[in-house]
Amino acid sequence: MHEPKNAKRIPIRKRVLIACLLTTILAVLATVGISLTAIFKIKNDSINTLTLQLEHNFKSLVEQKAKNTDTRLEYYEKYIVYFTDFIEDMYKDRDSLIASGKYIDAPRPSTPKDAYAMSGILATEDMMPKDVHDDMFFFSHMEKTWKPVVENNDGLIDTVYVGTKSGFLPAYDKYSYLTAVPEGRYLYYNFRESEWYKKGMKENGIIYTGLYNDSQGRGLTITIGKGYNDANGERQGVCCADFDLTGLYKEMISINFGKGAATFALDPNGNIISPERKIANTFIETGLLKKDIDAILNKNGILQTEDAFYIYTPVSRVGWTLCARIPKSIVLASVKAMDQTIWAAIIATVCGLLAIILTIVAATDSVAVAITRPMEQLCKDMETIGQGNLEHKATIIRNDEVGDIAMQLNGMVDSLKAARASLRDSQQKAAKMTELATTDPLTGVRNRTAYDTEIQAIDSSIADDMTDFGIAMVDMNFLKHINDVYGHEKGSIALKRLCAIICTVFAHSPVFRVGGDEFIVVLKNRDYHNISDLVSEFNETLETLQNDASLEPWEKVSAAIGYALFDPRLDSTSKTVFMRADKAMYARKTQMKALRTA
């Protein structure tokens, strides 16, 4: 092809320069597009991953608090089950117990205000004590059972009582208003219309009332109860206890997520629970609209609003919803630094590429050729990095603008690698938090959360016909006595000493501390096959400590142990194995108590 004769002459050098310039511009644009696409993808993926990880960590803390609260409430239920089982057992010998019972009256005015006492209340004013004579004398025997439980839980159990079908309500507590009842008269309370009595007479199992601020000024209170039957299986009444939940509630919401965050709980009706006052404006206190509250009640998840994340999970036993409000500034704070670093790298890269173009424009054909070669290599490096290979380094072959671009690119890659390392560190910290959440801080063995996880795995194994396991329950004796007489520090020493003995004897099985003075051993391997010998060894070890005159009282630890092995004829899940082990432990405790009093 020939150009016209009058066409403007363009030197070959300029043609080469223009060709190099155009080629370079196209290459730079393509590389920038690929690099920016890769950078923004890495940036967005990193931010999303880190944000999700932080949300997961926060959610785990909220779920753990709710689970701990449910565990504590489950522990409170054991008192009610113990009382109702005791009452139903009494019905087997009802006539002789009535004959050997005593008259229950209100405490006299001379009774100290802080003294525990047995009292009786009639349902209606037209009733007389003679109308409920049998129940009055029958339930007078409950004092020996109520007394140690209530007095050892002073501040937790406000009162324990029984509403009978006959209209008599025996109770055990220390509230002085009963001393105002004149001698020969009775206090009247139509308990048959109360929530706890109606639910307990109709429903099987544990019942809960709604949360309320106690009329005697004892704090945030809930009533837990259970109906009981006579020897013929007919419902005869309801046994209840009032529990002060002020401390438990405050412990449940004691999560510090940072400045501006708040933790609260909603009742089943969506009202915020307030230990200080009965009525609180839910929107003002929480920032949640009614539609938001309806969406989260009794559910588990994360709700995102314009300025905050709401992490919520149910406390199933009482129908509460534990919720944490976390400002978005807290969740996103960890990604700001990474975001700024990436933008700085992008700006530096763009500036460097512009410098390359300006250099080519000003260069001669020889300079253009000299620049083109390293630029080609740099483009290849950028393409490799843009494909996600952050281990690749740009080759710095010149001490000029091209070399500067390569260094900026390497700096950007280093920043991205640092961001990825930061994300990996966050994941490791999350794993550490999970480890801490499953370890008992006092004894170092695994806690209730770890036990629940172990039980889930065991139940899965049962479904797969892997059934060589057992459960051993260990309950420490006299811990409250040690705490009261020698101090909680000595009580902690006693707990750790008992835990060390358990771990030594059952060296091939996991040990869990599931309560203040309760331990569970999931029997496996050699321990499962030698359980009888190991229990004997455990009891002999404790007996040796009891007989060692050189030891301090808190070093002579005492405990009751009971165990059960999985039997496919009796057990379909681990729960029934646990119940048989628990029953065996309590039988051992009863035996030990009988030996001490003999």
CATH number of the domain within which 147 lies:
3.30.450.20
Of 50-59, 97-106, 329-338, 505-514, which range is least confident? 329-338
The pLDDT score that the predictor gives to residue 356 is 56
- Name the band, by pLDDT with cuts 50, 70 and 90, for residue 16: low
Residue 177: what pLDDT?
60
pLDDT band of residue 105 (cuts 50, 70, 90) is confident
Q: What pLDDT, on the 0 to 100 scale, is given for residue 257? A: 81
Q: Are residues 415 and 496 in the same domain?
A: no
In terms of DSSP bridges, do strands 308-315 and 511-513 run parallel, antiparallel, or are they unpaired?
A: unpaired
- pLDDT at position 108 over 90: no
Whole-number Å distance between alpha carbons of 261 and 250: 15
pLDDT per residue as tens digits for the range 405-442: 777 777 777 777 776 666 566 556 655 666 668 899 99
Q: Tell whether 408 and 549 lie within a shared domain.
A: no
Tell me which residue of 65, 589, 11 sits closest to 323, measured CA to CA.
65
Domain stops at, among 229, 248, 267: 248
pLDDT reading at 348 higher than 60: yes
Average pLDDT over all residues of the chain: 83
Given this model, what pLDDT does residue 420 score?
Answer: 66
Q: Are residues 229 and 147 in the same domain?
A: yes
Whether residue 83 is contained in a domain is answered as no
Domain match, 535 and 581 both: yes
Q: Would you say residue 1 lies in a domain?
A: no
Domain that holds residue 386: 15-68+332-424
Q: Let me know whether 235 and 367 are in one domain.
A: no
- The residues that bridge with 520 in the sheet, in sequence order, are 473, 512
Say how many residues make up the chain.
598
In this structure, are 51 and 107 located in the same domain? no
Q: Is residue 513 part of a domain?
A: yes
The 3-state DSSP composition of the chain as helix, strand, coil percent (nearest 5) reads 55, 15, 30
Count of alpha carbons within 13 Å of 434, Cβ hemisphere only?
11
Residue 307 lies in a domain: no
Evaluate whether residue 281 is within a structural domain: no
The model's confidence at residue 369, banded by pLDDT at 50, 70 and 90, is low
* Choice between 60 and 472, residue whose per-residue pLDDT is larger: 472
Residue with the bigger pLDDT between 479 and 382: it is 479
**Claim to verify: residue 221 and residue 186 sit in the same structural domain:** yes
Lowest mean pLDDT among 292-306, 312-326, 396-410, 478-492: 396-410
Q: How confident is the model at residue 4 (pLDDT cuts 50, 70, 90)?
A: low
Say how many domains are in the chain. 3
pLDDT band (50, 70, 90) for residue 456? very high
Domain end residue (candidates: 248, 264, 288):
248
When pLDDT is averaged across residues 556-585 and rounded to a whole number, the result is: 94
**Between 143 and 39, residue with greater pLDDT:** 143
Q: Is residue 430 part of a domain?
A: no
My answer on whether 495 and 455 are in the same domain is yes
pLDDT computed for residue 243 by the predictor:
93
Average pLDDT, integer, range 231-260: 90
* φ, ψ for residue 5, nearest 5 deg: -65, -35
Task: Judge residue 581's burial from the number of C-beta atoms within 10 Å of its C-beta, 0-12 exposed, 13-18 middle, 19 or more buried.
Answer: buried
User: What are φ and ψ of residue 521, in 5° steps?
Assistant: -115, 125
Task: Indicate yes or no: pTM above 0.85.
Answer: no
CATH code of residue 558: 3.30.70.270
Which letter, b or e, does each residue of 511-550 get, where b requires 16 or more Cβ atoms within 10 Å of its Cβ? bbbbbebbbbbbbbeebbeebeebbeebbeebeebeeeee
Domain boundary among 424, 440, 475: 424
| Assigned domain for 86 exists | no
- Above 80 in pLDDT, residue 183? no
- Averaged over 233-241, what is the pLDDT? 96
401 and 464 share a domain? no
My answer on whether 365 and 235 are in the same domain is no
Tell me what pLDDT residue 430 has. 53
Same domain, 480 and 349: no
If asked whether residues 137 and 242 sit together in one domain, one would say yes
Residue 506 within a domain: yes
pLDDT 10s digits, 22-42: 776 776 677 667 766 766 666
